[in-house]
Structure 1
Amino acid sequence: MIPRVLTPLPAEACSSDTPHRVSTWNHNSSILSLAYTDSYVFAGCQTGEIHVLDLHSYSSVATLRGHTSSVHSLCINNSYLISGSSDSLIMIWNIATLTLEYTVYSIFDIGDIFAICPIGEYIYFGSQNASIQWFSISRPSYKISSLPALRYDKFFDSKCFHAAKNPTSEPSSDNSEPSLQANTIEVPPSNISRYAHYSYIYDLTYAQLPSGINYLISAGGDGYANIWSVSDSNNIKLLHSLACSDTASVSALAVYNQFLYCATGNGQVKVWDLTTMQPTRSVQVDAEEITSLSIDAKYICAASTSGNISFWNHRFELLAKWQAHKGRILASLFLNFPRPLLVTGSSDASVALWDISVFIPENRQPHVGSTCKPNFQNDDLLHAVKKLVSYRTVSSMPSLYIEECSNCAFYLYDMFKRMGVYSSLLPVKSANPLVLGKFTVEKPRRRVLFYGHYDVVPADNLDWNSDPYDLEASDGYIYGRGVSDNKGPLLAAIFAAHDIYTRGELDIDVIFLLEGEEECASRGLEFALSEHADSIGAIDLIFVSNSTWINETTPCINFGLRGVLNATITISSDRPDLHSGVDGGAFREPAQDLIQLLSALANDTGQVQIPGFYDNVRPATDAELTLYDDICKCVPELSLEQLQARWRQPSFSIYRLVTGNANTGGIIPRQVQAFVSFRLVPDQDLDSIKRILKEFLDNKFRAITKSISQCALKVEFTREASPWMGNFSDPIYSDIKGILRDIWHEEPLFIREGGSITALKMLETAFNAPVIQIPCGQSSDNAHLGNERLRLINLFNLRTLFKRLFTDLKTSAQ
């Protein structure tokens, strides 16, 4: 008797949690099939390509090209990936080398190959012509002229009425075999069951029952699941035909213990007991076709053409249902790497990786926040980055985001506490607090400080492809405000310290000092470092990771940053705004005075005209020029002159002008402002530059106005940071360079940058300790811009780097 169709639990009984999407990979055509190993996910595409996706870096690492049409089926058999396609070919790829080793064809015109199932020595496959065929790769035959694309067809290749014929299709009389890119295997005629179903064969699976009985099971477009015996005599025999639907195809199969799960084109899943060949349950899972079933010891996952994923236990109690893709889901797989994951492929041309541990608490390793000390994995790191990015920690807008900044600081404080180490929040006057975390040991050989910041610049009014405060993982990158500057790097360093601390391998103290005002010139930091010096303690070495590489591929060590001096120049009149038609030419105008004053600051080539401005610029050494030569060889689009202008020469810029109401024409404004910036280099002194700049502006203003102007000049300094320069000849730089080379497998570069980090000189001075600045972002990571991103392999490698730095680095910096 056919059991009645059961209705799933109502929506309110299901989990309201949507699983975290760990990553997305985007392609240019539908994803039709999936397979995986411990290292890779393989995605078969409608275009015939197979994309290889790295589970460690979440990046696309290779594309396998061989098929000329849709790759409908993929499976893993020992060291091989096996693919089946609409080109009527099976291809067998070496997983270790990602190269094609065998091409398999049938002597019949079989159409699309929809399903592959390895059993022992043999590979079984089902196809569009309703046949099941099988072969062994241990018995290859070489006959490339019989490949489907090269066969002579009596109908399509016959002569037409004018006796012409297709010149590329006529059978060759040459007995020689062409050179082969891979071994070819012809399916023996004896290894074919020609009419296994009365329609297409959509899926194959293998059942090994507890009793020791083995079955091959096929799913057909005729609505049946057929059960076949698999004998040692290299033959299959039909034992049972299980009627699953009168109106729909059997689209997917799954087996667990003695139970067979059959998904149908009308959205049902029918369950059979293979020991009795009786149906036990039928469940309406979706309104549309179920295209894929995944099953493990406790859970069942059904994917449908509606784009939905349904998640069940084995009692068919619906645990969750969510929209996973905008298009049809055509493939899905359970993974356990390192916690339960689900990978899905869709007609929207994407592959998505989902962390489904939210539904499986008994299998879940604790995320950050647990009081135990687990060995956190990289996806735990991603969870923490996602949480940290969700805080809108815009320090420049305290009226809007002061609570967000406080909540983020407490999250970091609590993270350290939950990791089992000392943590405190250090108050900063009129600013966001410092977060202090300490991984300490009994007799440290040194005390190292990592400085980072949890505040960000605004994300509004910029072009974003996703919500900047909701982490998006796509094509090997994570996107969100602060992922590269500086939330991702600081978390990588924290996780690195925790890794070695919990393993008992830490022999130094690692101190974390995380600031909430870096994007506002580190206001209050200098005083806070002095005020909380006893809480922080003595420091021997300071690490920072807060900038980018010079290109996309080459890891770098930054040994110099320019300083900055920003000023607002205001010229105002004691008269109100005037009309240019009434008063134009009768009085000195503030805008005219400002233009003349600004033009006096630099000549036609941009050279600053302030006397003494360049006096203390440190000249380049031969060793530094040699580093520039290395950079120019690696990045040929950059010249020595460009590098020196950007990095080691001071500069003057006007970055904003305010000259009245832009919407009112003909009005002479009573007040105008120029916002200017000077980038400074070693050994220019901030106080000296401020003094000579103020004197220069005052003198020029008096000369311009000739003491007859009713206008007044005001100069305000709004931001300042001293230039910073590391000693790249110190042996510790060579040690770090070697570690970078080991991890990224590229020769690192020593670079400088034109930007400024206010805190570096403060930290160096406060602790009398050298700063080592190690960027991890690519040059295209868009820090401070829309679509800020960080490559995942760089995030994970940075974690590895700091584990090495906290354990292997023996050299003491000078």
Structure 2
Amino acid sequence: MNTIEFFINNKQNFLNELFDLIRIPSISRHKDSVQTAANWLENKLRQTADYVEQIPTTGNPVILAEWEPQYLEISASSHPTLLFYGHYDVQPPEPLDEWISPPFEPEIRDGRIFARGIGDNKGQFFAHIVAIECLHKLNQLGVNIKLILDGEEELGSPYIDEAISKKQEFFEDVDLVIVSDGPADPTWKPTLEFGARGIITAQFELQTAKGDVHSGNFGGIQPNPVWDLISILKTMKDDQGKCLIEGFYDDVFTPTPAALKAAEDLNRDPEVYKEQLDITYFGEEKDLPITHRLMFRPTFNIRGISSGSVRENARTIIPKEVVAELDIRLVPNQVPEKIKQLVTEHLDRLKSESENYAQILERCEVNFGTSFYPMFTPLELPWTEVLAKSITEGFEEEPLKIPLAGGSLPLYSLYKATGKPIYIIPYAQPDEDNHAPNENMMVEWFEKGVKTSIAILNNLKG
């Protein structure tokens, strides 16, 4: 019996196990449930792995596992060591009334598994575990495999570095890292991604008075925090989508020829995006090609503003406060700490240039939150051919090569620990609805993910 046959024959058992894991509501901030999931995974991994350990952190535990090759005649130095990364924490399921079936009771409908965490990320990393088990049961593991499972990715992985620092030797012999997370390309083609943009989040909280007041009685006297904060934010970005913060673009990387060709080969049609997103015009840097804006350029985004009340709750008031939150996506060579400093220096210059700005910023509290470094793996490395071949075998279709994924992942921590190339191979279809009600993963894509992982492990031993 070959490995694929073994998987097909045991597919329902593997799905049942995955459903057991999904039923554990391991929401990042619910420590007891996360610990239950960690214990479940430890017990599962001990069935085949040579080493399994939960690494305690200030937050949730990080899980490490390792499988040694079963080909005893091959020395440990003659084949690569592969590290898989995944995360077992999930987003909260709210709003609950928008779920068709309970979020932590997996249900298959129309060939899709519906449940919170199935696509992001339990179903994807479990495909790796299933592939390893299939090879292990048939005594066909020919490479050294390591696994790291993060318990707080949805919070920005604040303690993964702490866990890695306790087990630095675990990562020293890694040759490449594979992450299966996020959705595949909107074209529904399998995807091989060579990195991801980084991110910084920031919160601006401005309170200009002790309370909301009648906009007629006090209009013209009490300052409006919304207008005041808008005036500050407008100094950071122009009408063409360019960030105006001095030095913001100084370190933006120049894509390699192979990355530029890969982006060109994607042949993105702007009209398809307009139809998909139901938009009539594009944002950000309007003078640049679509593919550059999606991959090779940083963004400066207002992700939300809250103040006063609107719609059925509208009141004729001047609100006392406003909160705005930003996320800034970074590209390779940009350093989160430097960008934070540039934002801070910009605000300081505003204070010195204008008494009005100084008065506003005196009452404005600015805090930075999550930050991930951007990461990029050159397409020219030899692993590209091996992984593309494996994805083609698993999905029965050649993958798109995407130089940079749009989302952000804690890849820099893995790079610091290993110093080796990192690749992203999503196993969830484009409409997985991660972070939303009715999150789902197609059974067919889970199967193709397992087959791809089997192919990767077979081709690496090669």
Asked if 1:682 is matched to 2:364, the reply is no
Higher relative contact order (CA 8 A, sep 6+): 2
Match of 1:729 among 380, 398, 407: 380
Over 3 Å counting, the alpha-carbon distance change for 1:503 and 1:714 in structure 2 is same
**Alpha-carbon distance in structure 1 between the residues aligned to 2:269 and 2:389:** 18
1:600 partner SS: coil
Over 3 Å counting, the alpha-carbon distance change for 1:610 and 1:492 in structure 2 is same
Asked if 1:599 is matched to 2:249, the reply is no
Asked if 1:449 is matched to 2:101, the reply is no
Map 1:215-294 onto structure 2 (within 5 A).
none
Q: Give the match for residue 531 of structure 1.
A: 166
TM-score (norm 1): 0.50
Contact 1:652 1:676 in 2 (8 A): yes
Q: Give the match for residue 60 of structure 2.
A: 432
1:519 Cα offset (Å): 0.7
**Alpha-carbon distance in structure 1 between the residues aligned to 2:314 and 2:450:** 56
The one-letter code sitting in structure 1 at the alignment partner of 2:326 is V
**Alpha-carbon distance in structure 2 between the residues aligned to 1:671 and 1:477:** 44
Q: Give the match for residue 208 of structure 1.
A: none
Match of 2:405 among 721, 741, 753: 753
The one-letter code sitting in structure 2 at the alignment partner of 1:642 is I
More strand by share: 1
2:235 partner SS: helix
**Alpha-carbon distance in structure 2 between the residues aligned to 1:404 and 1:686:** 32
**Alpha-carbon distance in structure 2 between the residues aligned to 1:750 and 1:609:** 32
The one-letter code sitting in structure 2 at the alignment partner of 1:572 is Q
Q: Give the match for residue 777 of structure 1.
A: 428
Q: Give the match for residue 490 of structure 1.
A: 125
Cα distance per residue 1:413-433 (max 9 Å; x no partner): 01012336322211011x111
Asked if 1:476 is matched to 2:111, the reply is yes
1:706 Cα offset (Å): 5.6
Q: Give the match for residue 303 of structure 2.
A: 655
Identity of matched residues, %: 28
The one-letter code sitting in structure 2 at the alignment partner of 1:487 is K
Contact 2:195 2:422 in 1 (8 A): no
TM-score (norm 2): 0.87
Contact 2:393 2:455 in 1 (8 A): no
Over 3 Å counting, the alpha-carbon distance change for 1:415 and 1:693 in structure 2 is same
1:450 Cα offset (Å): 0.9
Q: Give the match for residue 284 of structure 2.
A: none
Q: Give the match for residue 793 of structure 1.
A: 444
The one-letter code sitting in structure 2 at the alignment partner of 1:380 is N
1:407 Cα offset (Å): 0.7
Q: Give the match for residue 35 of structure 2.
A: 406
Q: Give the match for residue 185 of structure 2.
A: 550
Asked if 1:803 is matched to 2:431, the reply is no
Q: Give the match for residue 379 of structure 1.
A: 12
Root-mean-square deviation (CA), in Å? 2.7
Q: Give the match for residue 156 of structure 2.
A: 521
**Alpha-carbon distance in structure 2 between the residues aligned to 1:706 and 1:637:** 42
Map 1:129-278 onto structure 2 (within 5 A).
none
Contact 2:188 2:430 in 1 (8 A): no
The one-letter code sitting in structure 2 at the alignment partner of 1:671 is E
**Alpha-carbon distance in structure 2 between the residues aligned to 1:603 and 1:529:** 41
The one-letter code sitting in structure 1 at the alignment partner of 2:200 is L
Q: Give the match for residue 393 of structure 1.
A: 26
The one-letter code sitting in structure 2 at the alignment partner of 1:747 is E
Asked if 1:644 is matched to 2:292, the reply is yes
2:253 partner SS: coil
Cα distance per residue 1:558-595 (max 9 Å; x no partner): 11211111100122236554443333322444333211
1:708 Cα offset (Å): 5.3
More helix by share: 2
Unmatched runs of 5 consecutive residues or more in structure 2: 275-287
Deviates more, 1:605-614 or 1:659-668: 659-668
Contact 2:142 2:461 in 1 (8 A): no
Aligned residues: 435
Asked if 1:460 is matched to 2:130, the reply is no
Q: Give the match for residue 59 of structure 1.
A: none
Over 3 Å counting, the alpha-carbon distance change for 1:592 and 1:557 in structure 2 is same
Over 3 Å counting, the alpha-carbon distance change for 1:547 and 1:576 in structure 2 is closer
Contact 1:546 1:773 in 2 (8 A): yes
Match of 2:48 among 403, 413, 419: 419
Q: Give the match for residue 715 of structure 1.
A: 366
**Alpha-carbon distance in structure 2 between the residues aligned to 1:452 and 1:700:** 43
**Alpha-carbon distance in structure 2 between the residues aligned to 1:656 and 1:586:** 27
The one-letter code sitting in structure 1 at the alignment partner of 2:208 is S
Contact 2:205 2:322 in 1 (8 A): yes
1:701 Cα offset (Å): 4.7
Larger Cα Rg: Structure 1 or Structure 2? 1
The one-letter code sitting in structure 2 at the alignment partner of 1:382 is L
Contact 1:588 1:711 in 2 (8 A): no
**Alpha-carbon distance in structure 1 between the residues aligned to 2:308 and 2:235:** 22
Asked if 1:616 is matched to 2:237, the reply is no
Q: Give the match for residue 506 of structure 1.
A: 141
**Alpha-carbon distance in structure 1 between the residues aligned to 2:360 and 2:330:** 33
Cα distance per residue 1:436-463 (max 9 Å; x no partner): 2221246433322111001111221163
Unmatched runs of 5 consecutive residues or more in structure 1: 1-55, 57-336, 339-373
Contact 1:381 1:491 in 2 (8 A): no
